[in-house]
Amino acid sequence: MPGPGSSTHRLGGAVPGAPGSGLGDGREFSDVRALVRDSWVRSSSRLPHPTQAVVSDVLGSDELAHRRAAHPLNSVFPLIRSLLAQPARDHGLIMAVGDELGRLLWVEGDPLTRSRAEEMAFLAGADWSEESMGTSAPALALTTGSAVQVLREEHFSPLAVDFSCSAVPLLNPHTGARLGFLDLTGDDRAADSLILPYLRATAAAVQAHLLTALPAPASPALSPLTGALPLIAAQGGTPVPDGAGSVFIDGDTSASGRAPGLGAGAAEPWVEPGHPAAPTRQRERIEVSSARPAPGPAPTAASGAVEAAAVVHLTGPELPELHVGAAVTRLSLRHAEILGLLAAAPHGLEAGELSARLYPVEVPAVTLRAELARLRKVLESSGAAAAGVELTSRPYRLSGVDADALCVGRLLDRGSHRQALARYRGELLPASEAPGVLEWRDELAATLREAVLSDGSVETLLEYLARPEARYDDEALETALRLLPPRSPKRAGILTRLEALRAQIA
């Protein structure tokens, strides 16, 4: 299987599988950020032309009231309103709170902006998911699990190109599952450098409140932290329990990272995640209990695993993690990118080569050195270094670390398609814009799909079709129909999906 970095695909080039080189209205894929481009490609696969991105599903008042009352965010909406509604009005913006599917549940703020937004159906009860309206900040916040800003013509729908927006996801503080999002929409002030820090701080406060408002899983080790979480939120961090007796502070908790009104120090200008000037978001571990889950069975050759002191989990929508025995450490996106790229290059990478695979633009050598120095501290604090993991220089070489994405590749090479599919939890670091990761992500997804369609069993193909990435894969659906026996009860569901997809395309 090709390794990351061997593809000829680069940022700004044509996107494999994309319908042409642009949206068909003069906007080209090569003209926008990778985050937006990828969303445009997904949107185009569902909505062949941007003019088709219109809200067609708005809840009536009774159904909307029912959805609000039943949603976990209903209990914290007064808090959200107190933190966002008046500042939004003061700056000519509107705030929106939506559910985990992208539906707007509450929209409040400046009356004039709200009236203008309602002309494009940005109103309570409307479906603003990526499937319905294409690229927008709420849709991307849910898709990537990250704070996002979308400016004017970066929106997929032409109805939205006069607006800019910023959004952050809201998570269940017990499980990390997405509950919905917070959004500020309006003119270019909605994408001001202070907006995302303020939204992040609001989300942290909301999630700290939800810690007691939502039922907790059977994890008594978390209870001693309840009193500390409001302080964590006030410092601009998001408490993220790991389910194993620890809580992580996700975010920049330095004074310079605090949002207005939430502590001393001015907030730094927001920088696109992945940009070389962007700060690394560290996760600070607060140990509550030494209790850890019992170790699982030792990896075997049949599972595709290799002998390693640590395994980094890079695939799927969950936060990347470093596993050392039974201990789990959540990783920042940048550290996960570095570990993955070095794990995939067993002979090491020179500084220039690693930098080119890591950063979309050229950066000073000191930037990479500083990042690696921080990563070494993570390897020490996680126990990886003590377990035998080494990160050496000249060239940069990582030993003792395997990656789930590499395991998937090895299983595919052996023809173990079903095992590969089970190990593949989803896209490789979906929030990453590192060039080397983008190439690896495309190669891995394409290789897995091709293997399942061409050589996999019908059972493996059906498992693949249950994945989100196969939702609009008409070729996979047609292949399943050819492979299924004529009297199989599973044919009806496949045929229904295929007909619905064809009708949508038509």
- Lowest-confidence region among 137-141, 393-397, 452-456: 452-456
Is there a single domain that holds both residue 98 and residue 207?
A: yes
Give the domain CATH number at 353.
1.10.10.10
pLDDT score for 494: 87
Does 391 reside within a domain? yes
pLDDT tens digits for range 182-215:
999 999 999 888 898 889 989 988 988 888 888 7
Residue 29 binned pLDDT confidence (cut-offs 50, 70, 90)? low
Return the DSSP state at 304. Answer: T
| Rg (the chain; Cα; Å) | 23
Return the DSSP state at 259. Answer: P
Question: Is the pLDDT at 370 greater than 80, yes or no?
Answer: yes
> Coil, strand, or helix at residue 335?
helix
Does 281 reside within a domain? no
Is there a single domain that holds both residue 259 and residue 305?
A: no
Give the domain CATH number at 167.
3.30.450.40
Is there a single domain that holds both residue 232 and residue 316?
A: no
**What is the reported pTM?**
0.45
Question: Mean pLDDT, to the nearest integer, of 64-75?
Answer: 93
Structure tokens at 23: 């949206």
Is there a single domain that holds both residue 323 and residue 208?
A: no
Structure tokens at 125: 């009860």
Return the DSSP state at 296. Answer: -
The share of the chain scoring above pLDDT 70, in percent, equals: 75
Does 311 reside within a domain? yes
One-character DSSP codes across 490-501: HHHHHHHHHHHH
Question: Mean pLDDT, to the nearest integer, of 2-14?
Answer: 36
Q: Are 168 and 184 in contact (CB under 8 A)?
A: no
- More confident call, 46 vs 98: 98
Among 204, 236, 263, where does a domain finish? 263
The share of the chain scoring above pLDDT 90, in percent, equals: 37
Question: Mean pLDDT, to the nearest integer, of 290-300?
Answer: 36
One-character DSSP codes across 22-54: B-SSS-BGGGS-HHHHHHHHHHHHHSSSGGG--
Range of the domain at 362: 301-423
Residue 329 binned pLDDT confidence (cut-offs 50, 70, 90)? very high
Is there a single domain that holds both residue 312 and residue 254?
A: no
What total number of domains does the chain contain?
Answer: 2
pLDDT score for 22: 58
Is there a single domain that holds both residue 248 and residue 346?
A: no
Does 492 reside within a domain? no
Is there a single domain that holds both residue 205 and residue 93?
A: yes
Question: Is the pLDDT at 70 greater than 80, yes or no?
Answer: yes
Does 167 reside within a domain? yes
pLDDT score for 498: 85
